A and B are shown apart, each in its own frame.
Chain A
Amino acid sequence: MADVYTSGRFVGTVDSSEEFRQKLVEARRAGEIPDTVNVHIDTDTDTVFVESSKGRLRRPLIVVKDGKSLLTNDHLNRLKKNDLKWSDLMKDGIVEYLDAGEEENALIAFAEEDITPEHTHLEVSALAMFGLVTSLVPFANYNSAQKVNTGSKNQKQALGFYAANYPIRMDMDVNLLHTPQRPIVKSVMHDISEYEKHPSGQNIIVAVMSFGGYNMEDAIVINRGSIDRGLGRSTYYRPMVSEELRYSGGLVDEISVPDKEVKGYKSERDYRYLEDDGIIYPEAILAEGDVVIGKTSPPRFLSGMDQYNLTADLRRESSVSMQHGERGIVDFVLVTENGEGNKLVQVKLRQERIPEVGDKFTSRHGQKGVVGLIVPQADMPFSASGVTPDLLFSPHGIPTRMTMAHLIELVAGKAGALSARTVDSTIFDSEPEAAIRQELLGLGFRDSGLETLYNGRTGEQYKVKIYIGNMYYLRLKHMVTNKIHSRARGPVQLLTRQPTEGRAKEGGLRLGEMEKDTFVAHGAAMVLKERFDSDRTTLPVCEECGLVAIYDEYKKRAFCQVCGESEINFVEMSYAFKLILDEFKSLCIYPKLRLEDKY
């Protein structure tokens, strides 16, 4: 007696769980019940679970019966002739989809040779165990599993040709590689996914060597000549959006060139690119602070005192302008209406991004690195035939990460480039490395992939042979220009008068709790004080009641609100401390300062 559950609900019992399961599976293969139904037996409790709910992850497998795959050569031939379709195979019960539960009861052979009488299923292809992006990692079966994972993650961040209609799209934060190339070393998945129609990398010449320490700790050295020829060159698009919002009381925003009377008017210069409709014209070259969409909003609150205030009916300036340190060219302007019928203006900003020191590049093996140095072509190492590498990769990145496929791709790419063909690097089904090396030998190169290189600066021959070849490299979307940040003086927060936080607000870099401790440990009391001087204030304090007093700027004298004319002295403290004293007062705690002479 075994309990049966369908989609998690108890429905009854059966005499033999195994018999029941087999019956159901057979019925499914015969097409008597839908093929989306899966059965599995929990062997510990002898319970049958029949699942037909949505949201289960399922994968296709070839059915094996009596130690023989049901998929025959005849099927394969008919498939090739387009005589037979995948759905036909499913209908015939040759292929079926298993969910995670049913997989537990199955014994799946990896290859047809491995099948024994115990096996129930056969893997369609070894590739099936990887996802789409992971299948794009060449020779991935030679890599450490961890690096296959990072390699596939990196590819998602690569710049490429993301959509053919990019000029008329309004995407957030996109990059476009100028000259994407089809990879020389590719896999079956590249064909299946039509990767060649939207490639995201370039085939470049890589030499595995150090270069004056500029490529240590995962950095890379890039050839200036290659960059000038267009290596890794990309465009960054950023939309700027503004909308005429409607507020209560019939008030609306207005997209126009703001009046000079408007509250918060910037300067005439900042509005100079705006056309009469308050929107910028295409191809305007913008720098920091320039207004892109001019807009004014109605006054924020209309209440109480405002009716006596003459400035109250003034509109507020709420234009969209270029951020701190930002430059770019207006690509195109879109004026439309949003779902609520409000006027919506979108401006697409374009910026050319030439690779620079600090930009991130990677091969397809999780071997990411940041540009450490850009070397003039004349100074780059060169081979006897005059080839200079585009990129120098440090050999220290290899041993601990065990990315053997990185090295194999290098020779494979070299052989492919030299004999003008693509190399198949499908996982578990790639061209044999030995054959590739043999081909290289036939092309007049060493089968090891090594070449004699000469120092570009001195012309001397390097004492060791250098591993050099072609690889598919990707430029990743992390670029320094989006991240670089520094500050000396700048904006402060309203509440605490401490520096703002974050790059967007031109914020300071926080000297945190533990950093503070290091100054204390050194006994550097004055340095510490100076570092925390950002919110320093000098306040009048009443000697009598110990509360913060008031300084009257007109009469040039200080007085205490509690004691009136009492002795008042000025005390230097952090504004944050003044704030906490105020907070104490709001808790009905009387924080009394007792003043003492400093010296």
Chain B
Amino acid sequence: MADVFGQFKDSLPESVIADAKDAATKEKMTDSQAKKLMEALLDEQNKMRVAPGECVGLISAESIGEPGTQMTLNTFHFAGVAEMNITMGLPRIIEILDGQKKIATPMMEIYLHKPYSEGKDIKKLALRIKESKLDDVAREYSINLTESTIDVSIDQTQIEALGMTMGDLVKAVKKENKSLTVSSEGETITFKTKTKDDTFNEIYKLKEKLRETYIGGIKGISQVLPVKRNEEFMIVTAGSNLKKILPMEEVDSERTFSNDIYEIENVLGIEAARQAIVNEVYKVIESQGLNVDIRHLMLVADTMTADGNFKGITRYGVVSGKASVLARASFETPIKHILNAALYGEEDSLTSVIENVMLNQPVPVGTGLPKLQMKTK
């Protein structure tokens, strides 16, 4: 029996074989019956194969493009949680497919290990992740003009909430402001400029700068929101920094993800970026109530990541990699491409669709693909 299934190991997916095995044992099949079943399955699978010459790329483009015309142009959409805006809809798809390096609303979903995922210290953890600034813990700023000093009184409850002590704070502040003399006394920190006669304007500017002083947390994360999803606590953030988040011991690095594909590529590699493209585009399409086969998205993601770099579908990205001059010229900025081709003496071997449409020759897909081969003596 096992022998029969073993034969098909290379031609059928594991899950199909496993299912067939179960069915065969349940139905108490004989070897020949099982073989017949497997052959039928293989036949069925082969029927589903894409035929040679099928124009898969164009079909993907049409399959994504057509529902795209129905998409509402809602830029902002409350994705389940209050207080957080996430780019959705068509702008988001354009953002992903164009391969923009700076996306409009970077965001992370941080999954946690037990016991944090059960809600232990979730608020504390969230506050630790959030990028904190001196302004978050300061109660009052007072400027002493004669001494050229700025006194900042610190709200003790705020630093406690961040899990810091006064000593930690002073250390952090000192590190960030090496050009100033920093001293602390009780609940106040005093900053003193090294030059003596500063104008009021300069000190005021300095004060504004001090407010933005980084004192803790993870850089780039401007908002945190602990949420409970499917009986599990997790943290949703605005702003993304996978590099710092993933090594944290509380974080389940296997499930945590960001919506910044460029960052994913840098931190987790190109395969992860490919999967992220599929997931993110699919999320948008699904949220609009549209139905696109995921394999179309996979093809798009594959072309965007095929050469090991995350490339957008623009004249600088995927299109720039096309072999044909005429194909590139027909996309955007034709003069630039033609002149460059002339400079380098490029040759166009007319192997893809657009060039052949331009020349009015059969396109090399579908029925245009097969050619006659003559045997030469």
Residues of A in contact with B (beta carbons under 8 Å apart) = 516-518, 520-526, 528-529, 532-533, 535-536, 572-574, 576-577, 580, 584, 587, 589-590, 594, 599
When the two chains form the complex, which single residue of B55, B61, B357, B372 contacts A523, counting CB atoms closer than 8 Å?
B55
In whole angstroms, how far apart are the Cα atoms of A511 and B363 in the complex?
16
Contact A529 B360 (CB under 8 A): yes
Contact B372 A524 (CB under 8 A): no
Contact A532 B59 (CB under 8 A): no
Interface bits B39-70 vs A (CB < 8 Å: 1, else 0): 00000000000000111001101100000000
In whole angstroms, how far apart are the Cα atoms of A573 and B353 in the complex?
15
In order of increasing CB-CB distance, the 10 nearest A-B pairs are: A523-B366, A525-B368, A574-B360, A589-B342, A525-B362, A525-B363, A525-B367, A521-B58, A599-B372, A577-B359
Residue B358 lies at the interface, judged by CB distance under 8 Å to chain A: yes
List 13 A-B pairs, Cβ < 8 Å: A517-B61, A523-B55, A525-B362, A525-B369, A526-B367, A528-B363, A529-B362, A533-B360, A574-B359, A576-B358, A587-B339, A589-B338, A589-B342
Q: What residues of B have a CB within 8 angstroms of the CB of A517 in the complex?
A: 58, 61-62
**Chain A residue nearest to B63 in the complex (CB):** A521
- Distance (whole angstroms) from the CB of B334 to the closest CB of chain A: 10
In whole angstroms, how far apart are the Cα atoms of A594 and B350 in the complex?
11
Contact B339 A589 (CB under 8 A): yes
With contacts A587-B338, A589-B338, A599-B372 taken as known, whether A520 is within 8 angstroms of B360 at the C-beta atoms is no
- Distance (whole angstroms) from the CB of B330 to the closest CB of chain A: 10
In whole angstroms, how far apart are the Cα atoms of A528 and B353 in the complex?
11
Those of B241-277 within 8 Å (CB) of chain A: none
In whole angstroms, how far apart are the Cα atoms of A465 and B278 in the complex?
57
When the two chains form the complex, which single residue of B61, B358, B364 contacts A574, counting CB atoms closer than 8 Å?
B358
Q: What residues of A have a CB within 8 angstroms of the CB of B342 in the complex?
A: 584, 587, 589-590
In whole angstroms, how far apart are the Cα atoms of A599 and B342 in the complex?
29
- Distance (whole angstroms) from the CB of B280 to the closest CB of chain A: 25
Contact B353 A520 (CB under 8 A): yes
Residue B86 lies at the interface, judged by CB distance under 8 Å to chain A: no
**Given A529-B362, A584-B338: 17 more A-B contacts, CB < 8 Å:** A517-B62, A518-B62, A520-B58, A520-B366, A523-B365, A523-B366, A523-B369, A525-B366, A525-B367, A528-B362, A529-B360, A532-B360, A574-B359, A576-B358, A589-B339, A589-B341, A599-B372
Residue B361 lies at the interface, judged by CB distance under 8 Å to chain A: yes
Q: How many A-B residue pairs have CB under 8 A?
A: 76
Residue B374 lies at the interface, judged by CB distance under 8 Å to chain A: yes
**Chain A residue nearest to B365 in the complex (CB):** A523
In whole angstroms, how far apart are the Cα atoms of A570 and B310 in the complex?
45
**Chain A residue nearest to B335 in the complex (CB):** A587
Q: What residues of B have a CB within 8 angstroms of the CB of A529 in the complex?
A: 360-363, 368
Contact B360 A536 (CB under 8 A): yes
Q: What residues of B have a CB within 8 angstroms of the CB of A590 in the complex?
A: 342
In whole angstroms, how far apart are the Cα atoms of A375 and B240 in the complex?
69
Contact A522 B360 (CB under 8 A): no
Q: What residues of B have a CB within 8 angstroms of the CB of A516 in the complex?
A: 357
With contacts A589-B338, A599-B372, A599-B374 taken as known, whether A577 is within 8 angstroms of B362 at the C-beta atoms is no
- Distance (whole angstroms) from the CB of A49 to the closest CB of chain B: 36
With contacts A517-B58, A589-B339, A590-B342 taken as known, whether A577 is within 8 angstroms of B367 at the C-beta atoms is no
**Chain B residue nearest to A527 in the complex (CB):** B367
In whole angstroms, how far apart are the Cα atoms of A576 and B372 in the complex?
28
Q: What residues of A have a CB within 8 angstroms of the CB of B359 in the complex?
A: 573-574, 577
In whole angstroms, how far apart are the Cα atoms of A86 and B364 in the complex?
80
Give the residue among A518, A521, A526, A573 with the most B Cβ atoms within 10 A: A521
Q: What residues of B have a CB within 8 angstroms of the CB of A572 in the complex?
A: 360
With contacts A528-B357, A589-B339 taken as known, whether A521 is within 8 angstroms of B62 at the C-beta atoms is yes
**Chain A residue nearest to B342 in the complex (CB):** A589
In whole angstroms, how far apart are the Cα atoms of A529 and B55 in the complex?
16
Contact B360 A526 (CB under 8 A): no
- Distance (whole angstroms) from the CB of B178 to the closest CB of chain A: 48
- Distance (whole angstroms) from the CB of B314 to the closest CB of chain A: 18
Q: What residues of A have a CB within 8 angstroms of the CB of B364 in the complex?
A: 525
Q: What residues of A have a CB within 8 angstroms of the CB of B367 in the complex?
A: 523-526
With contacts A524-B366, A524-B367 taken as known, whether A573 is within 8 angstroms of B58 at the C-beta atoms is no
Q: What residues of B have a CB within 8 angstroms of the CB of A521 in the complex?
A: 55, 58-59, 62
**Chain A residue nearest to B374 in the complex (CB):** A599
- Distance (whole angstroms) from the CB of A539 to the closest CB of chain B: 12
In whole angstroms, how far apart are the Cα atoms of A535 and B360 in the complex?
9
Q: What residues of A have a CB within 8 angstroms of the CB of B357 in the complex?
A: 516, 528, 532
With contacts A529-B361, A577-B358, A599-B372 taken as known, whether A523 is within 8 angstroms of B338 at the C-beta atoms is no
- Distance (whole angstroms) from the CB of B146 to the closest CB of chain A: 40
Those of B318-341 within 8 Å (CB) of chain A: 338-339, 341
- Distance (whole angstroms) from the CB of A595 to the closest CB of chain B: 12
- Distance (whole angstroms) from the CB of B290 to the closest CB of chain A: 19
Give the residue among B341, B359, B362 with the most A Cβ atoms within 10 A: B359
- Distance (whole angstroms) from the CB of B53 to the closest CB of chain A: 6
Give the residue among A520, A528, A587 with the most B Cβ atoms within 10 A: A520
In whole angstroms, how far apart are the Cα atoms of A518 and B365 in the complex?
12
